[in-house]
Structures are given as structure tokens and as C-alpha cells.
């Protein structure tokens, strides 16, 4: 995994991260701003290259870009466009923020808020995916990230406030972090926590390396002449994959929300091992006879039904009916006109009676 760091200044967080990446054999290019259009560059486990101007060809060489928001705002518009295009094509982007107000269009997509620091100034963090709890950080944290339907929280504190958030952008991912001083784990001897944190962050952000990332077959126990579905994750979202089963072409369809995910429907014709060919790469899967694994098949149907019901309940909308009383002011002239008609009728009636 090749890492590029663009820093507005080499703070302690960058210094410790640079050393950790070097010690763990990560190819790393590090650029720090000295003044306007002047930079200092270091290279570890990697060949030297010109980092004075960031472009598409430069970014193609890296899997993850780490940049603080101040530097992201300071680079040129063409450099930001190159970063945006690189992320769409699969590169991971981690933005470090320290300001309650966003400075760039990409970071502006993540909401943020300030909250008073804890009294003991000890921050307890956990990974959202596997509930891994870190040792406490001696840190006064006041800046947090807002949850969003399109985002995926990666790291949160004990109260559920998010410090690292992520979202999918094209074929790549954008991560944003308000956590400024993870190096305090190293200073307090908690090397395992520091390693666990950065390993998780980098793996979540990294460019997809292999063309076939994962292959799922639904249902789990496909049977002869029964409907089944392939779900394939690819590294390139813009290309339609070639899917074949025993030389029979399948028609893949793309997931609108996850452009790197494709699926295809098929009906297995032969029990036993079958071959799936994805872009010239072969994967084997087993097809069962209809009378095999009946108990497990029924259990799978029950589990799928329960999951569907659970999701349906969560999506139910509660309709609330409210009585709305509208008050409108009526002009006084309507009452005067009514009074005038009534008075005229009485006057006319009295004249007729007098005439009789």
C-alpha cells in the first residue's frame, strides 16, 4: 500500500505517523509546505519523484492520500481537481480537520460540530465495525462529526460521537478525521492501539488492489434449476465485467449506489462444481441437488425473511394527522352591505304597507 502525505506543516501527528509507516515498510512520500510554492519532500521505502505539482499521473502511483484540510485548501484548483478525479478512480483520501468550519468542497460534505471536552480530559474510542475499544487518550477533544445516511462511521467515543467518518465517492473512499493526536498512544506506551487504529484507517481508505474483491452467491446453497444470483465487487467501477458460467454469458447489472458492485441472475443446470469466469479470472462454486441440505436451505429462507421483516419495520412511516384551523379576517364592509340591504327592505316594506 503506497501512501502520500501532503502537510501544511510537519506537526507531531505527521512526524510519528511518518516513522510508523517507515517502520512497518509502507512505501511513503511526504511533502510539507515551507512557504508559498516551496516544499520539503521525503521518501521512505519508495523512489523519489517530483511532488511540487500534484497531478493525475502522480496520484496514480499511490493508494491513499493523507492531507490536512488547511493544505487541501491551499493547493491549486487544478490539484484539487486531480485529487477528486483520483478518488473517483479508486484512490483513498483521508482529510484531517481541526476547524469547526469546512475549508473545501469535499470536506464540506461532512457535517461537524463542537462539544465541551470531558472533565477528566480522557478520550475513550472504539472501532464501530468490530467494537474494538482503544486505551484512553489523554486528549481534550471538542470537534466531532455528524452522522449522515450516506456516511459510514469508523471511530466514535464512548458516547457515540463520531471522530472518523467515511463515504464512497466513485470507485474510491473519502475519510475525514477530527482526531488530532493519536501519537499520544505511542507516548504512553500503547503501541498496539496506535497500530490497530492506523491499520484500520488505511485499510478502509486504500485503493482496491485486485480486480475481483469478493464473490457472493445467493442463496448460500444454490440448487439445480433454481434461481441464484452472483454479487461481484470489482476495483474498476466504469467497466462492465465479463461474466460466464461454463462458457454461457451472463448479463451483469451495476449497483447504482455502489458502482463497483455488479450482480447477475442465473439458473444452474448441473449439480457439482461449476466454473465462473470473471474478466478471464476463474472462480469455482458448488451447485447442490434439490434434495440436498433441505434443513439448511429452509433455515436460510427463515433468516432472510426475518431480515426482510426487520428492515421493513424500520422503514415504516408514521402518518400523523393534524387538525389545522385557519383564521381569516373578514372585511367590515360585508357587514355594512348586509345591513344596508336589510334596512332598505324594511323601508320598502313599510312604504308598501302605508300605501295600502
Q: Please tell me the predicted confidence (pLDDT) of residue 117.
A: 73
Name the DSSP class of 288: B
Q: Please tell me the predicted confidence (pLDDT) of residue 317.
A: 44
Q: Do 63 and 99 fall within a single domain?
A: yes
Q: What is the CATH number of the domain that holds 156?
A: 3.40.50.880
Report, as ranges of residue numbers, the positions in the chain whose pLDDT lies below 70. 119-120, 208-213, 235-238, 292-331, 349-356
Count Cβ neighbours within 10 Å for each residue of 300-330 and write b for 16 or more, e otherwise: eeeeeeeeeeeeeeeeeeeeeeeeeeeeeee
- What is the tens place of the pLDDT at every residue in 200-223? 999 899 876 545 567 788 887 888
pTM of the predicted protein model: 0.62
- Cα separation of 311 and 147, whole Å? 20
3 state SS of 351? helix
Q: Do 156 and 269 fall within a single domain?
A: no
Task: Classify residue 335: in a domain, yes or no.
Answer: no
Q: Please tell me the predicted confidence (pLDDT) of residue 354.
A: 63
Q: Please tell me the predicted confidence (pLDDT) of residue 340.
A: 78
Task: Classify residue 181: in a domain, yes or no.
Answer: yes
Number of domains composing the chain: 2
Q: Give the residue from 154, 186, 205 where a domain finishes.
A: 205
Q: Please tell me the predicted confidence (pLDDT) of residue 318.
A: 42
Q: Please tell me the predicted confidence (pLDDT) of residue 120.
A: 66
Q: Do 224 and 129 fall within a single domain?
A: no
Task: Classify residue 342: in a domain, yes or no.
Answer: no
Q: Do 24 and 81 fall within a single domain?
A: yes
CA distances from 46 to 2, 52, 66, 81, 307 (A): 8, 17, 16, 25, 47
Q: Give the residue from 156, 187, 205 where a domain finishes.
A: 205
The residue with cell 470507485 is: 171
Q: Do 29 and 73 fall within a single domain?
A: yes
Q: What is the CATH number of the domain that holds 218?
A: 2.60.40.1590
Q: Give the residue from 205, 237, 253 where a domain finishes.
A: 205
Residue 36 lies in domain: 3-205
Q: Please tell me the predicted confidence (pLDDT) of residue 236.
A: 60
Query: Between 12-23 and 191-205, two packed helices, what is the crossing angle to 10 degrees?
Result: 80
- Residues with Cβ within 8 Å of residue 257, at least 6 apart in sequence: 168
As to burial, measured by CB atoms within 10 angstroms (0-12 exposed, 13-18 middle, 19+ buried), residue 222 is: buried
Q: Do 78 and 173 fall within a single domain?
A: yes
Amino acid at each position: 500500500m503506497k501512501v502520500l502525505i501532503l502537510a501544511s506543516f510537519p506537526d507531531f501527528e505527521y512526524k510519528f505517523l511518518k516513522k510508523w509507516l517507515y517502520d512497518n515498510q509502507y512505501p511513503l512520500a511526504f511533502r510539507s509546505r515551507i512557504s508559498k510554492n516551496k516544499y520539503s519532500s521525503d521518501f521512505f521505502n519508495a523512489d523519489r519523484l517530483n511532488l511540487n505539482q500534484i497531478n493525475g499521473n502522480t496520484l496514480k502511483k499511490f493508494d491513499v492520500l493523507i492531507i490536512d484540510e488547511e493544505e487541501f485548501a491551499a493547493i491549486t484548483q487544478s490539484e484539487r481537481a486531480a485529487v477528486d478525479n483520483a478518488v473517483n478512480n479508486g484512490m483513498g483520501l483521508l482529510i484531517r480537520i481541526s476547524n469547526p468550519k469546512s475549508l473545501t468542497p469535499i470536506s464540506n460534505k461532512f457535517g461537524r460540530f463542537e462539544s465541551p471536552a470531558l472533565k477528566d480530559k480522557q478520550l475513550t474510542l472504539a472501532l464501530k465495525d468490530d467494537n474494538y475499544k482503544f486505551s484512553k487518550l489523554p486528549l481534550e477533544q471538542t470537534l466531532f462529526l455528524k452522522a449522515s445516511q450516506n456516511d459510514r462511521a469508523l471511530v466514535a467515543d464512548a458516547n457515540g460521537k463520531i471522530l472518523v467518518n467515511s463515504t464512497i465517492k466513485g470507485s474510491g473512499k473519502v475519510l475525514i478525521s477530527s482526531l488530532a493526536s493519536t501519537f499520544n498512544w505511542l507516548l504512553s506506551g500503547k503501541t498496539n492501539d496506535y497500530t490497530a487504529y492506523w491499520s484500520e484507517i488505511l485499510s478502509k481508505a486504500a485503493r482496491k488492489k485486485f480486480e475481483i474483491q469478493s464473490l457472493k452467491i445467493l442463496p448460500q446453497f444454490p440448487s439445480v434449476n433454481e434461481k441464484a444470483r452472483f454479487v461481484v465487487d470489482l476495483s474498476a467501477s466504469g467497466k462492465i465485467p465479463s461474466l460466464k458460467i461454463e462458457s454461457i454469458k451472463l448479463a451483469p447489472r451495476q449497483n447504482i449506489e455502489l458502482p463497483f458492485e455488479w450482480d447477475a441472475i442465473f439458473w444452474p443446470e448441473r449439480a457439482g462444481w461449476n466454473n465462473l469466469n470473471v474478466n478471464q479470472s476463474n472462480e469455482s462454486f458448488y451447485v447442490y441437488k434439490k434434495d440436498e441440505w433441505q434443513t439448511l436451505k429452509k433455515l436460510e429462507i427463515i433468516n432472510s425473511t426475518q431480515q426482510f421483516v426487520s428492515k421493513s419495520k424500520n422503514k415504516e412511516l408514521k402518518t400523523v394527522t393534524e387538525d389545522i384551523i385557519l383564521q381569516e379576517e373578514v372585511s367590515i364592509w360585508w357587514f355594512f352591505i348586509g345591513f344596508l340591504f336589510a334596512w332598505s327592505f324594511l323601508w320598502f316594506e313599510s312604504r308598501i304597507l302605508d300605501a295600502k
